[in-house]
Chains A and B, each alone.
Chain A
Amino acid sequence: MHGLINRAIERFARDTYGGDVWIQATRRMDLGFTEVAAMLHYDDAVTTRLLQQLADLLDKPAPDLLEDIGTYLVSHPNVESLRRLLRFGGVTFEEFLLSLDDLPGRGRLAVPDLDLPRLELVPHTDQCYALTVFSPKPATLPFGRVVMGLLRAMADDYGALVVLDYKGDRGAAELIEIRLLEPAFAEGRHFDLGATPP
């Protein structure tokens, strides 16, 4: 697994629950390090075990933990740069949704060896979409839950009112139903195209 993914988990744990929780998780795993290098690769098992340790330590079901990570990645000021990169996807939330198919490609533009899940958005009826998340390696990490949290936070960011429904998985493919109730429900957060990235 790419170090960026593990680094995301680390920053989520540190920023949300404090460094102690994170260090405790790495100690329990006997990792031999307490800080993930974002630009190195790690064994897939490290990611799986890290998530399991954190879920145990925080007494939180794994799917909830993953969704919280997705929300964190968009909403926490410490990872503002990622939110900015996602906002480049479109001027409105709808445009952003339609840009999701490009997400793995955009990821690779930035970091060529980063394997992100393939996303496939199919518009159904008016304002209703079905998003399929194909995780790169089955059984490693159910990215769909992370995407759920990420979409929820992005909707807030754009000021859109949405209802998300996790429809379950078929092997490595997870299905999310998105209903866009009100594209401009709230003001949303300002996105300054020319701001200096943090």
Chain B
Amino acid sequence: MTEAISFYLIQFIILASALAVVLVPNPIYSAISLAVSMTGIAALFFSLEAYFIAGVQLVVYAGAVMVLFVMVVMLFDLKKEKRAFSRGTLSRVLKTTLSVLIFSMIAGALSMSFSELGSGDSIAKEDITRSIKELSALLYTKYVFAFEALAILLVMVIVGAIALAKAKGGTHAK
């Protein structure tokens, strides 16, 4: 029962702050809401006993990425936007309906398939403690090539980000 309560609480925090990210006109509030949302997700991972992932979530997202966002927002000195959303009534309506439609479709499909299986909830959570050791063994054996590729990607991103940020006016330089 405590599990259910905590799940709904975390769920509420995540969704509310996510909606705030999307709907609040001021970007700095968006960024803060995002940080809250990330933290909520980390908590969710924690409750799922994925401790390592939860930690990484906190460090990478709530830490590094959010710092980056806030830095950029600060750098730009952004104010509350008068028109935060793009123009066009028709396209707005279309976009909103489509988003809602897709969500309801996925949710509907999920509930239907689980009720047809009839055992959606009966799959018990395995009670094995996920050790970090096990995970890292997997990372360095089965996924070692992807891991190396990831290293190369990160190097390239560092170089690319620096090159982009240093460019004076880019291709439209005067």
A and B, one complex? no
Chain B residues near A (Cβ < 8 Å): none
